Amino acid sequence: FQSLQEMHFQIQNQCNLNFVNMWMWCCLILHNMILEIEEDLGLMSSNVEYMEEAATWGISLVHE
């Protein structure tokens, strides 16, 4: 997801906005698919590790 961090895109019209919006949605979908695949394979994702570490700081990253 380095592409999102490094994305420097001038949004000058609706077409540009649509492109950036589509790219962000694709990254979100890919992220969710990776989490599901890791779960199906029984792997602990880095996302879970991050959430557990945040819990030790007293911060909940899970919205209930």
Boundaries of every domain in the chain: 2-57
Q: Give the residue-averaged pLDDT of 10-23.
A: 92
H or E element at residue 24: helix 14-40
- What pLDDT was estimated at residue 17? 92
End-to-end CA distance of the chain: 26
For residue 34, what pLDDT band results from cuts at 50, 70 and 90? confident
The model carries a pTM of 0.59
Q: Tell how many helices (H) and how many strands (E) occur in the chain.
A: 3, 0
